[in-house]
Amino acid sequence: MQNGDIAAWLGVMLSGASVAYLLLAIAAVTLKRPRDRACENSDDLPPITVLKPLCGDEPCLYEALRSFCLQDYPLYQIIFGVQDGADEACLIVERLQREFPDLDLKLVVDERISGQNLKVSNLSNMLGWARHDYVVISDSDVFVEGEYLRKIAALLKQPDVGLVTCMYRARSLPQSASRFGALFIDDWFMPAVMVSRLLGVQSFVSGVTMALRRDVLSELGDFDEVTDSIADDYMLGCAVRRLGLRTVIAPFFVETMVAENNLYDVARHELRWMSTIRSVQPFGYAFSGVTCGITLPLLGVFMSGDAPSLVYVLGGALLLRLILHCLSTKKTLVSMIRSVWLLPARDLFVFGVWVAGFFYRSVSWREKAIAVSNV
């Protein structure tokens, strides 16, 4: 077989794999999207403690934390944790304490470090102040609706459920880099999670929400198993399932802020995600290049020498990519058409970060370098 024939054959294979994934992703987003359901109106709702690890005054931090203070829930406590009393996030917490004097809002300042993951160290320091047996852990940049705790509690009350998590959408700032970064979540990561669910994989757990009962946490040794892991959410889910309990996804989305100011920050953030995924799921990561939208069909056309049939495949892949974008982001037709130019750039960017993820041996988190071997 001539070298040109081999290249053309590879181009066909790559293009076909990408189109097949796009079709699967469209089916998954349609079938496996969380369907919001009415919340439980029962008065028999267990008291809940919410743990909010903080580090710095992030964009829209006040608005995100405030959404947790507006819960339609009979009894709950929110613990905010920092490791430095001079942290600017303390001012936001104090503002909320003044605004909601009737809520049980606690600020914990504790500099103790129990492992490489500073967030988990923060959680460990906060847990001792928790007053209730139902614990909800949520990242600082998460926005929720008023019935969030009711819906979480309804799931966590089931005795065979050990952990409740949530899928999420991106909330972006007006800056172009922020909107560009939001597409990583909405167009790439969440559809990939839904494809995994469609194929029967139930391992997804996200730090936007990790709700557990105290008896489950105690059986796990609290956070002992994840103190040195930056993939604390994934590893915590694995530990819960080893106990014979289920990890379940709540039937609604929350939102998380994407606040990067430039493409360098976007790339650094996404490279941390990619390196983390590769460390915990190396086999799946190796084949996840097919998830990078129209990148492989573009590469296929280049490898085949502009074969007309593959040009048609590329056109079909672009159409499928637009449909996936529309379904994932719930954009209007006009907004979708305006995004046409951005999607190829976004897909090529994801592909470049995916390739780089094979080679990075450390990631940057909160300005601290952590070896991927310790992820």
> Over the stretch 30-50, which tens digit does the pLDDT of each residue have?
988 787 665 555 568 999 999
Kindly state the average pLDDT of the residues 16-33.
91
Q: Are residues 289 and 147 in the same domain?
A: no
Top pLDDT among 372 and 237 is at 237
**DSSP letters of 215-258?**
HHHHHTTTTGGGTT-S-HHHHHHHHHHHTT-EEEEEEEEEEEEE
Last residue of one domain, picked from the residues 208, 228, 259: 259
What is the residue range of 161's domain? 48-259
CA nearest to 96, candidates 147, 126, 54, 46: 54
Q: Domain total for the chain?
A: 2
Q: How confident is the model at residue 314 (pLDDT cuts 50, 70, 90)?
A: confident
Q: How many helices (H) and strands (E) does the chain have?
A: 15, 10
Tell me if 272 is assigned to some domain.
Answer: no
Tell me if 209 is assigned to some domain.
Answer: yes
Q: Are residues 25 and 173 in the same domain?
A: no
Tell me if 270 is assigned to some domain.
Answer: no
Tell me if 264 is assigned to some domain.
Answer: no
For residue 5, pLDDT beyond 70: no
For residue 294, which phi and psi values (nearest 5 degrees)?
-90, 10
For residue 372, pLDDT beyond 70: no
CA nearest to 284, candidates 165, 201, 359, 372: 201
Q: Are residues 223 and 83 in the same domain?
A: yes
Last residue of one domain, picked from the residues 259, 293, 318: 259
Q: What is the pLDDT of residue 1?
A: 47
Q: How far is CA 281 from CA 34, 73, 245, 285, 288, in A?
A: 24, 37, 21, 6, 10
Q: Are residues 80 and 23 in the same domain?
A: no
Q: Are residues 252 and 182 in the same domain?
A: yes
Q: Are residues 53 and 28 in the same domain?
A: no
Q: Are residues 52 and 26 in the same domain?
A: no
Kindly state the average pLDDT of the residues 340-348.
86
**Secondary structure, 3-state, 78-130:** EEEEECCCCCCHHHHHHHHHHHCCCCEEEEEECCCCCCCCHHHHHHHHHHCCC
CA nearest to 178, candidates 113, 258, 274, 70: 258
Tell me if 266 is assigned to some domain.
Answer: no
Share of the chain above pLDDT 70, in %: 88
Tokens matching residue 21: 């994934």
CB atoms within 10 A of CB 237: 21
Tokens matching residue 291: 């998830």
Tell me if 43 is assigned to some domain.
Answer: no
What Rg value do the Cα atoms of the chain yield, rounded? 22
Q: How confident is the model at residue 7 (pLDDT cuts 50, 70, 90)?
A: low
Tell me if 271 is assigned to some domain.
Answer: no
Last residue of one domain, picked from the residues 230, 259, 288: 259
Residues 301/2, Cβ–Cβ less than 8 Å? no
Q: What is the pLDDT of residue 306?
A: 61
Q: How confident is the model at residue 354 (pLDDT cuts 50, 70, 90)?
A: very high
CA nearest to 212, candidates 238, 234, 232, 240: 240
Q: What is the pLDDT of residue 328?
A: 87
Q: Are residues 170 and 243 in the same domain?
A: yes
Q: What is the reported pTM?
A: 0.90
Q: What does the pLDDT look like over 100-151, one tens digit per residue? A: 999 999 999 999 888 788 889 999 999 999 999 999 999 999 999 999 999 9
Least confident of 145-159, 241-255, 288-302: 288-302
Tell me if 63 is assigned to some domain.
Answer: yes
Q: Are residues 155 and 245 in the same domain?
A: yes
Q: What does the pLDDT look like over 159-197, one tens digit per residue? A: 999 999 999 999 998 888 998 999 999 999 999 999 999
Q: Are residues 174 and 110 in the same domain?
A: yes
Domain CATH code at residue 99:
3.90.550.10
Q: Are residues 177 and 63 in the same domain?
A: yes
Q: Are residues 95 and 181 in the same domain?
A: yes
Q: What's the mean per-residue pLDDT of the chain?
A: 88
Q: What is the pLDDT of residue 266?
A: 93
